[in-house]
Structure 1
Amino acid sequence: MSEYLLSLVGGALIGLSSAMLLILNGRIAGISGIVGRLAQGVNWQSNAAFLVGLALGPVGYLTATGKWPEIFIREPLPVVIVAGLLVGFGTRMGSGCTSGHGVVGLARLSPRSLVAVVCFVTAGMLAITILRSLGV
């Protein structure tokens, strides 16, 4: 199976699950919002079900390809933890994450999401440019 075909199927599944959550539950599939509502105990059954579905993604990959997805994390665990906390802080500051703004917000033609996605992409490009210039 082609690497691009798997990416296409994965993207289609993300779009389908986001559309279904919006149409059936009236909720935006922003992971930071779902995790935040779950932590607050708001509509916990629906939020927990969505997160369990996300966690079962590798099982779907195993079923489709016969092998587990390969994941390589090169950074030490403390760096990964700090990075995760910074991402969490950023999603709260930006009133959402890339999944909420980039997948659902842009599809809904949300001006706020357009600004957020431009900021995400610009910050990512800037970070990569700086890190590469430092030889990291």
Structure 2
Amino acid sequence: MITEFTPWASLIGGLLIGGSAVLLMALQGRVFGATGILAGFLQPNGAKDWMWRAAILAGMVTGPTLYMLITGVMPAVDVPVSRVALIIGGFIVGIGVTYGSGCTSGHGVCGMARLSPRSIAATITFMITTGITVYIVRHVLGGI
């Protein structure tokens, strides 16, 4: 299985994520951690807190629609594993986010930019675990 090389889409996506993280920190004084944003949205601590979380989540959901309006096609989302593997992976990620006190956006983007030792260690752990998981799924389990 070969993964497509998409440098321009990756660059634009990275700039959007980084810019969003900077704006959220500058305007709200908050770290852009997607799982924390979702958790706070589901368990709001107040109307002001809920509104900025709702705006970010709405942007995440409407982004593909805006892309379609500009380009005329929906962005391709190719998930090369079975639905069962996707569900199991989601639970495993949820456990990791809980024990790691954050996700790749919180630790990998914001924490590393702040040179947080905890975030650097978490991101290294994410990357090593991801590499091992991809190897096992693709080469040991045959792509599930």
1:49 counterpart = 2:47: no
Give unmatched runs, 5+ long, in structure 1.
Answer: none
Distance 1:76 1:135, change over 3 A: closer
SS at match of 1:121: helix
1:131 counterpart = 2:137: yes
Distance 1:47 1:13, change over 3 A: same
TM value normalised by structure 2: 0.84
C-alpha displacement at 1:113, in angstroms? Answer: 0.5
Q: Name the counterpart of 1:110.
A: 116
34-43 vs 14-23, which moves further: 34-43
Deviation track 1:18-42 (CA, whole Å, cap 9, x = no partner) reads 1100110011110111111112112
State the superposition RMSD in angstroms: 1.6
Q: Name the counterpart of 1:15.
A: 18
16-25 vs 125-134, which moves further: 125-134
Q: What is the rounded CA distance, in whole Å, between the counterparts of 1:82 and 1:41 in structure 2? A: 28
Give unmatched runs, 5+ long, in structure 2.
Answer: 1-5
Identity within the alignment, %: 40
TM value normalised by structure 1: 0.88
Residue among 49, 69, 74 paired with 2:75 = 69
Deviation track 1:87-108 (CA, whole Å, cap 9, x = no partner) reads 1121011000001111111111
Q: What is the rounded CA distance, in whole Å, between the counterparts of 2:125 and 2:131 in structure 1? A: 10
Q: What is the rounded CA distance, in whole Å, between the counterparts of 2:135 and 2:41 in structure 1? A: 36
Distance 1:13 1:34, change over 3 A: same
Q: What is the rounded CA distance, in whole Å, between the counterparts of 2:35 and 2:82 in structure 1? A: 24
1:93 counterpart = 2:99: yes
1:78 counterpart = 2:81: no
